[in-house]
Structure 1
Amino acid sequence: MVGYLNLILRLTIWFLLTADFSVANIIIGISIALLLPGGKTAKQSLKDWLRVLGEIIVAIPQAYMEAFQIILRPHKYEEITMEQVKPGRTPGLVFLDIFLITFTPKTIVLKYHEAGWYEVHWVRRRRKV
């Protein structure tokens, strides 16, 4: 089941990059998604995938709320923090985590450190004390 989720993730990225849903592009996308190497074979849990997808669905209204907050009350302060990657993350789940963090207007992942850390840039309304 998780293999299908990896395939769907690859196809989604392909369609986001190409923005073309012609038959030829769909065939090319499926071919590329199947030919890409699987990477490290780590145990992936369907529960982890569903949790991340649920977090992405929750992040959509949060992104709109943060956008309106930035429009109505400017955020003048910036901060860079290090956040630890949840243990046992596969490359697909790391990608979805980075997407989730970057999706909201107030945060963006600057760098993923192989040691298991995300470097996150925050825009804040006030300085943290």
Structure 2
Amino acid sequence: MIGYLDLLLRLTIWFLLTADLSPANIIIGVCIALILPRNRTVTAVLKDWLHAIWEIIVAIPTAYIEAVEIILRPHTAEDTVMERVKPNRTPGLIFLDIFLITFTPKTIVLKYHEDGRYEVHRVRRRKLKQGGE
């Protein structure tokens, strides 16, 4: 079952890149999705995929809300933080995690470190100093 989800993810990416649903492109996409190497040592759990899909659904309105916040109240502070990869993630789920972080306007993944961390750049509102300044 999970192999089908990885295949579906690869096909979705292929169709988004090519923007062509012709029969020839579908055949090429299926062939490429099957030929690409897989990581057979780590298997994803269906619960992880469902959780990732839910996070995608939640990220869409969040992205719109953050975009409006940035327009109405400019964010002048920024920082870079290291975030840990969730345990037991397959490469497909790691890709979705990076996509979700980058999808929202306030954050972007700068680098994925092989030791299981993301380098994330964030913009935020500058906090006002205490004492009325």
Structure 2 stretches of 5 or more lacking a match? none
Displacement of 1:127 in angstroms is: 4.9
Q: Is 1:33 matched up with 2:44?
A: no
Q: What percent identity do the matched residue pairs reach?
A: 71
Match of residue 4 from structure 1: 4
2: CA distance between counterparts of 1:127 and 1:75? 10
Question: In the superposition, relative to structure 1, how do residues 124 and 86 fare at CA in structure 2: closer, same or farther (>3 Å)?
Answer: same
Q: For residues 103-122 of structure 1, what are the structure 2 equivalents within 5 Å?
A: 103-122=103-122
Q: Distance in 2 between matches of 1:48 and 1:127?
A: 36
What amino acid is aligned across from residue 88 of structure 1 in structure 2? N
Please say which structure displays the higher CA radius of gyration: 2
Query: What stretches of structure 1 move > 2 A for 4+ residues in a row?
Result: none
Q: Which runs of 5+ in 1 are unaligned?
A: none
Deviations 1:43-90 (A, max 9, x none): 210000100110110111000000000111111111100001111111
Contact 2:44 2:90 in 1 (8 A): yes
Please give the alpha-carbon distance, in whole angstroms, between the structure 1 residues aligned to 2:121 and 2:21.
Answer: 34
TM-score by structure 2 length?
A: 0.92
TM-score when normalising by structure 1:
0.95
Q: CA RMSD in A?
A: 1.5
Number of residues of Structure 1 aligned to a counterpart in Structure 2: 129
